[in-house]
Amino acid sequence: MSQAVRRSGSRDRHPLAWLPEEWRECMTQWGEPGFRAQQIFQWVHRHGVLDVEQMTNLSRPLRARLREHGLESPLQEESLRRSSDGTRKLLVRLQDGLAIECVLIPRANLEEGGVEEDEDEDADAEEADSGAQRSEQPVTLCISTQVGCAMGCVFCASGQAGLKRGLGAHEVVSQFILARRHLDAGERIKNIVFMGMGEPLHHYAETAQSIRLLTHPLGIGLSPRRITVSTVGLISGIHKLGEDFAGKIGLAISLHAPDGATRSRIVPMNESQPLAELIAALRRYPLPKRRRITIEYTLIDGVNDQVAHARQLVETLRGLPVKVNLIPMNPIQASQLHAPKPEAVEAFRRELLLLRVSCSVRQTRGDDVDAACGQLALGSARRLQHAASEVEEANVSEDLDRQPG
Ligand code: SAH
């Protein structure tokens, strides 16, 4: 990429991370009419065309100039593994050789990605492509924001080797562009969950730019309500996300414990982002009416799985519009920790429901393709290790139960 393209402001980013206004700036600099900006943005984001020769409404000299500056994808597809349940897991190579992954999950296989059923119509109305058909098969895309992770949650495979680096917005949005090519006929990516490798709020600026790209009406045009950011609970990031997107982006909080002491044992970030402050930040999040925050709670045998924990969780969350997603821990190689017995999971769930907290138990899907986020990329990095023992959480899930009454 030449200096001419990358010079100033947000145009420091790779061109695939430019919004139409950034393209407009570039076109002005190149002496091109402003409408070219929109055309290029549409080719890239709406149509997923990165080969400038296919951008047939651009002049030849402009195409040559774009080619010279490089619009090629920063991602190379390494493998695609398809589960018998339709889940597709993509292992993707970055330009520096590191690997990430993203997963396509057909709706039938998962709980709502933070989107309430009764809000679908609102979200549909906001979507750029008003031709969207009800008959389309909705698919959720789970994307990564970092290679590795710095948060160090003791039960999570992604963080075991620490953080290699954060992804740029161009690498995040390119996951969408690439994954979209693997949709079956009639399928459409309706929801995006930032639940792959990494902590999305750690590199907030890139995550925010990728959300702007994914939701831009001239491009992919996804409604912000259809995007859910899952976070370990970085308080300033939650605040910025709420401000920058007026609370429209769905939040999933990896709480995993009802009290600070228990949480610190398994989520080291709790030391610097204390539970009470996190909860206060959630109360301040400008959540639209009818929406709820997802509370992720990985159940670990003997650590956070007692009925007393469930009761305390209800107290901690009192007054917050939430739904709790219980995730029996998937085993990882680096830890002896493991899921409680099914009876304990059931007792925990029952207690929450009894206390009228909406709750579901997440079930791993796509097992036959290791569709647990983190697993495939790690498996390839440590080539000789058993992928099966690298299991991290699958964001492939299903509502097993609903709140009574
Ligand atoms: N950094 C983000 C995204 C992480 S992955 C976050 O912390 O939310 C999404 C979810 O999977 C998180 O709730 C994470 O804590 C959970 N998870 C990770 N490893 C797991 C495992 N082995 N078993 C169960 N859940 C796990």
Question: Going by C-beta distance under 8 Å and a sequence separation of 6 or more, which residues neighbour residue 75?
Answer: 92, 93, 94, 171, 174, 175, 178
Return the pLDDT at 125: 52
Ligand 1 atom closest to Cα of 151? 1
Phi/psi at 22 (5° precision): -75, -35
Secondary element (H or E) of residue 253 = strand 250-254
Ligand 1 atom closest to Cα of 202? 1
Pocket test for ligand 1, best of 103, 203, 229, 230 (most atoms within 8 A of CB): 230
Question: Which of 5-19, 210-224, 231-245, 299-313 has the lowest average pLDDT?
Answer: 5-19
Average pLDDT over residues 94-107: 95
Is the pLDDT score of 111 beyond 70? no
Is the pLDDT score of 9 beyond 90? no
Within 6 A (CB) of ligand 1 lie 153, 155-156, 195, 199, 230-232, 254, 296, 298, 327, 329-330, 332, 373, 392-393, 395
Question: Going by C-beta distance under 8 Å and a sequence separation of 6 or more, which residues neighbour residue 339?
Answer: 299, 300, 301, 328, 329, 330, 331, 345
d(CA 108, CA 114): 15
- The single-letter code of the amino acid at 210 is S
Pocket test for ligand 1, best of 298, 323, 361 (most atoms within 8 A of CB): 298
pTM score above 0.75:
yes
Is 22 a catalytic site residue? Answer: no
Report how far ligand 1's centroid is from the alpha carbon of 241 (Å).
20
Is the pLDDT score of 399 beyond 50? no
Ligand 1 atom 24 nearest Cα: 329
Per-residue model confidence as pLDDT tens digits over 13-57? 999 999 999 999 999 999 999 999 999 999 999 999 999 999 999
Is 277 a catalytic site residue? Answer: no
**Start-to-end C-alpha separation, the chain:** 58
Per-residue model confidence as pLDDT tens digits over 141-187? 999 999 999 999 999 999 898 999 999 999 999 999 999 999 999 99
Q: Dihedral of CA 168/173/175/177: which sign?
A: negative
